[in-house]
Chains A and B, each alone.
Chain A
Amino acid sequence: MKTRFMKKSGTKPAAMRLPEGGRINRGKPVQFTFDGTSYQGFEGDTLASALLANSVYLVGRSFKYHRPRGILSAGAEEPNALIRLGKGARIEPNLRATQIELYDGLTSESQNRWPSLNLDVGAINSLFHRFFPAGFYYKTFMWPASFWKSVYEPVIRNAAGLGKAADDHNDPDRYEKTHQHCDVLIAGGGAAGLMAALSAGASGARVILADEQNEFGGWLLSEGDTTLDGEASPAWIAATLARLEAMENVTLLPRTTVFAYMDHNYITLMERVGDHMAECPAHLPRQRLWKIRAREVVLAQGCHERPVVFGGNDLPGVMLSGAVRSYINRYGVAPGRRAVVITNNDDAYRTVFAMIEAGIHVAAIVDMRPAAAGPLVAEAMRMGLSVHSSHAVLAAEGTRHLGYAKIARYNPKTGDVTGDPFYIDCDLIAMSAGFTPLVNLHSQARGKLEWDEEFCCFKPSTYHEAAQSAGAGNGAFDLATAMAEGAKAGAEAASRIGFEASPAQAPAIDAPVADFRPLNFWGVPSDAAPGSGPKAFIDYQNDVTASDIKLAVREGYQSVEHVKRYTTNGMATDQGKTSNINALGIISGELGATIPEVGTTTFRLPYTPTSLGAIAGRDIKGLFDPVRLTRMDPWHREAGAKFEHVGQWMRAWYYPQDGETMEEAVNREVRRARTHAGILDASTLGKIDIRGRDAAEFLNRVYTNAWLKLPVGRCRYGLMLKDDGMVMDDGVTTRLGENHFHMTTTTGGAAGVMAWLEEWKQTEWPELEVYLTSVTEQWSVATVSGPNARIILEKLGCSVSLRDDSFPFMSCKEARLAGLPVRIFRISFTGELSFEINIPSRLGMALWKNLMQVGSEYGLTPYGTEAMHVLRAEKGFIIVGQETDGSVTPHDLGMDWIVSSKKPDFIGKRALERASMALKDRKQLVGLVTENPMDVIPEGAHAVLDPNQPMPMEMLGQVTSSYFSPNLNQSIAMAMLKGGHAMKGETVWFPMIDGSEPIKATITDTVFYDPKGEKLNG
Chain B
Amino acid sequence: MLLIKCPFCGDRDELEFSCGGEAHIARPLAENTLTDAEFADYLFLRDNPKGVFLERWIHTDGCRRWFNVARDTVSHEIIEVYPMGETPKTEAAKAAHKASWRRQTAAEAAAKPASPAGRSGS
Chain A residues near B (Cβ < 8 Å): 262-266, 293, 464, 723-724, 755, 758-759, 762-764, 766, 904-905, 909-911, 914-916
Contacts and interface: CB of A to CB of B under 8 A. Distances in A.
Given A293-B13, A766-B84, A264 B20 contact: no
B66 interface: yes
A843 B1 CA distance: 44
A914 B39 contact: yes
Interface in B1-37: 1-3, 13, 20, 27-32, 34, 36
A724 B43 contact: yes
29 contacts: A262-B1, A263-B2, A263-B3, A264-B1, A264-B2, A264-B3, A264-B76, A266-B3, A464-B75, A723-B27, A724-B44, A759-B20, A759-B58, A759-B66, A762-B66, A762-B84, A763-B66, A764-B27, A904-B30, A904-B31, A909-B30, A910-B30, A910-B32, A910-B39, A911-B43, A914-B36, A914-B39, A915-B36, A916-B36
A263 B1 contact: yes
Contacts of A764: 27
Q: Determine which residue in A266, A758, A910 has the highest number of CB atoms from chain B within 10 A of its CB, and name it.
A: A910
Given A263-B76, A762-B65, A723 B43 contact: yes
Given A904-B31, A911-B43, A763 B84 contact: yes
A911 B66 CA distance: 25
A755 B18 CA distance: 11
A15 B77 CA distance: 59
A159 B67 CA distance: 53
B121 interface: no
B56 interface: yes
Given A266-B3, A904-B30, 11 more contacts: A263-B3, A723-B43, A724-B44, A755-B58, A759-B20, A759-B66, A762-B65, A762-B66, A766-B84, A909-B30, A916-B36
B36 A293 contact: no
A755 B66 CA distance: 11
Contacts of A464: 75
Nearest to A722: B43
Contacts of B20: 759, 763
A256 B58 CA distance: 35
Contacts of A905: 29-30
Contact of A266 (B13, B36, B44): B13
B118 interface: no
Contacts of B66: 758-759, 762-763
B64 interface: yes
A261 to B, nearest CB: 11
A176 to B, nearest CB: 18
B29, B44, B66 — most chain A CB neighbours (10 Å):
B66
Contacts of B32: 910
B113 interface: no
Given A723-B43, A763-B56, A766-B84, A266 B28 contact: no
B116 interface: no
Contacts of A262: 1
A117 B18 CA distance: 53
B45 to A, nearest CB: 13
B12 to A, nearest CB: 10
B75 A266 contact: no
A264 B71 CA distance: 13
Contacts of A766: 84-85
Nearest to A262: B1
B92 to A, nearest CB: 18
A761 B56 CA distance: 14
Interface string B46-74: 00000000001010100011100000000
A265 B1 CA distance: 8
A755 B28 CA distance: 22
B31 to A, nearest CB: 7
Contacts of B43: 723-724, 911
Nearest to A910: B39
Nearest to A758: B64
A915 B56 CA distance: 31
Contacts of B65: 762
A293 B30 CA distance: 47
B44 to A, nearest CB: 8
**Chain A to chain B: the 7 pairs with minimum beta-carbon distance, closest first:** A905-B30, A264-B3, A266-B1, A762-B66, A904-B30, A263-B76, A914-B36
A60 to B, nearest CB: 37
Contacts of B60: 755
A755 B2 CA distance: 22
Contacts of B29: 905
Contacts of B58: 755, 758-759
Contacts of A909: 30
A221 B34 CA distance: 75
A898 to B, nearest CB: 19
Contacts of A266: 1, 3, 13
A900 B20 CA distance: 29
A22 to B, nearest CB: 42
Contacts of B3: 263-266, 293
A846 B41 CA distance: 55
B84 to A, nearest CB: 6
Nearest to B3: A264
A915 B36 CA distance: 8
Nearest to B20: A759
Contacts of A915: 36
B16 to A, nearest CB: 12
Contacts of B31: 904
B61 to A, nearest CB: 12
Contacts of B34: 910
B120 to A, nearest CB: 23
A266 B11 CA distance: 13
A293 B2 CA distance: 10
B77 to A, nearest CB: 9
Nearest to B67: A762
Contacts of B39: 910-911, 914
A850 B42 CA distance: 54
A915 B39 CA distance: 12
A759 B3 CA distance: 22
A909 B34 CA distance: 13
B121 to A, nearest CB: 27
Contacts of B56: 763
Given A724-B43, A759-B58, A910 B2 contact: no
A758 B66 CA distance: 9
Nearest to A762: B66
A904 B60 CA distance: 32
A249 to B, nearest CB: 20
A763 B56 CA distance: 9
Nearest to B30: A905
Interface string B81-116: 000110000000000000000000000000000000
Most buried by A among B1, B20, B28, B66: B1
A904 B29 CA distance: 10
Nearest to A772: B64
Contacts of A759: 20, 58, 66
Residue in A265, A464, A909, A911 with the greatest tally of chain B CB atoms within 10 Å: A911
A762 B13 CA distance: 22
B20 to A, nearest CB: 7
Nearest to A916: B36
A263 B66 CA distance: 22
B53 to A, nearest CB: 15
Nearest to B85: A766
B76 to A, nearest CB: 5
Contacts of A265: 3
Contacts of B36: 914-916
- Of the listed residues A762, A763, A904, the one surrounded by the most CB atoms of chain B closer than 10 A to its CB is A763
A723 B28 CA distance: 11
A904 B31 CA distance: 8
A905 B29 CA distance: 8
A905 B65 CA distance: 25
B82 to A, nearest CB: 13
Contact of A910 (B1, B28, B64, B75): B28
